[in-house]
Structure formats: structure tokens, C-alpha cells
């Protein structure tokens, strides 16, 4: 698993300043939606049109294009597939709350950025009467809120995010597999994580979602120092997902770290490309409102 680096004295728990920052992020979520995104006059997210409902016996005059040929071949009986209209979207947000998500060298931690992504996109989806749900995970699924489309549910979701604390280990791949089994109907799945887990397990989980025909977005949230490993001189590296630390000179390690990190990231990007999954790298020192709005505009153009 890639190394998670942190300077000595790094804040790993949410203090009063962090709580105030989260409230600013919540307001920012509303600002993004009410500003640039709302100005698009249309949504970058669309429902899935129709869902299969049930069968009924064939009646003379029925359109044969709806005939279930598999049942006819198996039972020599004619049944028509019935569908129900389903223009709404059901979105499941998966927010990684493992210890590494608490790291920050900039103003906001990765978990802070995850909160504003969930808050912004939830607000946008609820404005078009879609349903949103939230799953948070570290070593296991810590919270599961099934999708709902009410303002009361949005308040509950935001309150739950305010109470989040970075936890210890990471089993992201396992949590995603469990969620893929839990979601019974086609949905939008938005994953927000630094992806510091076995990349092959994450790859298999993404394949699981694709196999079930879910639409998936992966926001790969990183601190710039994790991307560049720009540490000068002796540095203390704290393990945010277990006890312990090391003090060492990172400069001789930089080349090996970047090689391992890029191989890890390449698995994620390649899997997303093959499965037509949106992969978006988000850095915590970038203005999140601009970065997220740009992604939503690009998504709308593709649709």
C-alpha cells in the first residue's frame, strides 16, 4: 500500500477550527450549485428512463418487441415484459473516512474536500427531485443512509458528515463490493477517496459496479505532497491508520515512491477508462468550487 506521509504535529482529529471550516464548505456547496452550475439551465445528471418491472401473459395485439424470448424458449409460453417509468436518479455517495483522509498540508484535509463534494452534488440532485444516500467507510462500513429525496434527509446527511472523524485502517475495496451487492436497482455511485488501499481490490470492486450497470464517478482526492513527495530535509512520517512513526530523510526515497505511486494510480485510471467510469483527480490546494464546477460543465457537454 502506498506510503501516507505527514509532517510532525499534523492534526488528525477535527478541532473547533475544522468544524468552522466545514460550515464554510457547506455554504460553499450551496454557492456552487446556485451559481455556475445552476446557470447551465440543465442538469449534468440524468435519470435512467425506464426500469423493468414484471411480466404479464401475452395478449393478441401486443407488440412482439416486448416479448420475453427466453421464457418462450424455456417454457413455451408467451410473456410480455412490462416496464415502469423511472426518470429520477438514485445516487449513492461513498466517502472514505480512513485515517489518511485526515491528512492536510494545505487549508483543507482530504476529508474536508470530500464533504463539500458530497454536499454540493447532493444539493444539486435534490434540487431536481432525485434521491441521495451516503455510505462512509474505513476498515468497514461505518454509516449507511439509503437514498431519499427530502430536505429533511439532506439535513440528516449534512449532520452526519459534520460528525465524521478520520478513523484508522482502510478496506475500501471490500466496502465497495458490499455496496454493489446492496444496491438492487441501477444507480449513480460517487466514490470519494484517496484510494490508499490495494488497487487490485478497488479495480475488482469497480468492475462489480460496471457489471451491474451502475454509473460510477471516482473522485481521487489527494494532498499535493502525496502526489509530488516534496519534502525537504529530515521529516517525521506518522502512520495515520495505525500507531507509530518514522523520522527519515525523504529525498533518497522520492524516486521509488513516485514510481510506486504512479503504478498504483495507473491501475485506477486504466480501470476507469476501460469501464467508462469518470475518474477525476482532486487536489486539496485547488479551489474546490472551481474544480467541481469545471467537472460538472465537462460532464454536461459529454451528455
Q: Where are the domains of the chain?
A: 16-46+87-302, 50-85
Give dist(CA 17, CA 104) in Å, integer.
14
| pLDDT, tens digit (0-9, with 9 covering 90-100), for 10-56 | 323 334 454 455 556 566 666 666 655 555 556 667 665 445 556 66
The pLDDT of residue 80 is above 50:
yes
Higher per-residue pLDDT: 17 or 151: 151
| pLDDT, tens digit (0-9, with 9 covering 90-100), for 90-148 | 999 999 999 899 988 888 999 999 998 998 898 888 888 889 999 999 888 889 999 99
pLDDT at 238: 61
- The CATH code for residues 16-46+87-302 is 3.40.50.410
The pLDDT of residue 252 is above 80:
no
Range with the largest mean pLDDT of 121-125, 158-162, 260-264: 260-264
| pLDDT, tens digit (0-9, with 9 covering 90-100), for 213-247 | 899 999 999 999 999 988 776 666 665 566 666 67
Per-chain mean pLDDT for the chain? 80
pLDDT at 165: 86
pLDDT at 11: 28
Amino acid at each position: 500500500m502506498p506510503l501516507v506521509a505527514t509532517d510532525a504535529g499534523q492534526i488528525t482529529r477535527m478541532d473547533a477550527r475544522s468544524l468552522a471550516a466545514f460550515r464554510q464548505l457547506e455554504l460553499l456547496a450551496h454557492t456552487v450549485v446556485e451559481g455556475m452550475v445552476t446557470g447551465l439551465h440543465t442538469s449534468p445528471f440524468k435519470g435512467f428512463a425506464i426500469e423493468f418491472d414484471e411480466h404479464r401473459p401475452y395478449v393478441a395485439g401486443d407488440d412482439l418487441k416486448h416479448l420475453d424470448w427466453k421464457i418462450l424458449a424455456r417454457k413455451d409460453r408467451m410473456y410480455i415484459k412490462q416496464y415502469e417509468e423511472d426518470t429520477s436518479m438514485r445516487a449513492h455517495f461513498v466517502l472514505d473516512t480512513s485515517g489518511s483522509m485526515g491528512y492536510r498540508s494545505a487549508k483543507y484535509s482530504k476529508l474536508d474536500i470530500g464533504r463539500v463534494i458530497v454536499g454540493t452534488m447532493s444539493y444539486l440532485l435534490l434540487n431536481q427531485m432525485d434521491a441521495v444516500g451516503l455510505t462512509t467507510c474505513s476498515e468497514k462500513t461505518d454509516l449507511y443512509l439509503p437514498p431519499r429525496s427530502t430536505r429533511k434527509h439532506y439535513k440528516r446527511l449534512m449532520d452526519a458528515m459534520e460528525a465524521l472523524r478520520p478513523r484508522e485502517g482502510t478496506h475500501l475495496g471490500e466496502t465497495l463490493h458490499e455496496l454493489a451487492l446492496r444496491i438492487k436497482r441501477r444507480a449513480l455511485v460517487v466514490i470519494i477517496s484517496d484510494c490508499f488501499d490495494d488497487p487490485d481490490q478497488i479495480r475488482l470492486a469497480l468492475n462489480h459496479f460496471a457489471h451491474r450497470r451502475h454509473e460510477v464517478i471516482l473522485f481521487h482526492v489527494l494532498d499535493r505532497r502525496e502526489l509530488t513527495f516534496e519534502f525537504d530535509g529530515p521529516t517525521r512520517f506518522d502512520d495515520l491508520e495505525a500507531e507509530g512513526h518514522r523520522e527519515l530523510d525523504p529525498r533518497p526515497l522520492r524516486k521509488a515512491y513516485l514510481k510506486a505511486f504512479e503504478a498504483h494510480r495507473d491501475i485506477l485510471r486504466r480501470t476507469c477508462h476501460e469501464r467508462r467510469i469518470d475518474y477525476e483527480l482532486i487536489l486539496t490546494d485547488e479551489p474546490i468550487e472551481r474544480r467541481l464546477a469545471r467537472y460538472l460543465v465537462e460532464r454536461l457537454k459529454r451528455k
